[in-house]
Amino acid sequence: MESEHVTHNFAPIFDENSRILMLGTMPSPKSREVGFYYGHPRNRFWKVVSDVCGEELPETREEKIAFALRNKIAVWDVLAGCEIKGADDSSIRNPIPNDMDVILSKADIKAIFTTGTKAAQLYKKYCYPSTGIEVIPLPSTSPANCRVSYEELYTAYEVIRRYLG
């Protein structure tokens, strides 16, 4: 598979009440195809976050946005663009970071989480120098991360509740 230049084209989900920021790396080919965050049908992000918040699984784009805003969760990605092979984060080259100030200047974010190790590495290298906010890495919810059980994901993601109170 060849690398392709990908540009992030979803607006971040947030409002002035958002308290945590959940950052992925870059939308996967499936997410880009459906035009929304964590769009692969086997990605476990929306399930684990809704379970942790004690809510029904949001199904539609509108339900997911309403769920995130209601629960004070901002959703975005570390990168605005990069060269990548498919959905393989390890193949990322020439990353262009998003400007976290888009959210941080408008919402009182109490904690920033990444949904995967690569997102955490990229955030630390490209975003932390300007934000000064440490990131809390969580396991990837991607179907490619099948070695992490749903129960392990749930246990790891429970930490977000501490900041939503």
* pLDDT tens digits, 23-78: 999 999 999 999 999 999 999 999 999 999 999 999 999 999 999 999 999 999 99
Element (H, E) at 127: none
Confidence (pLDDT) at 88: 86
Confidence (pLDDT) at 124: 98
Distance of CA 131 to the CA centre of its chain: 17
Averaged pLDDT of the chain: 95
Burial class (CB in 10 A: 0-12, 13-18, 19+), 60: exposed
Which SS3 state, helix, strand or coil, does residue 57 take?
Answer: coil
Confidence (pLDDT) at 146: 82
Range with the poorest average pLDDT among 2-6, 57-61, 123-127, 150-154: 2-6
Residue 144 has pLDDT above 90, yes or no: no
Q: What is the DSSP letter of 18?
A: -
Confidence (pLDDT) at 55: 97
Residue 106 has pLDDT above 90, yes or no: yes
Which SS3 state, helix, strand or coil, does residue 68 take?
Answer: helix
Reference 81, options 144, 138, 32; nearest CA is 32
Residue 165 has pLDDT above 80, yes or no: no
Q: Please write the tens of the pLDDT for every residue from 123-136.
A: 999 999 999 999 99
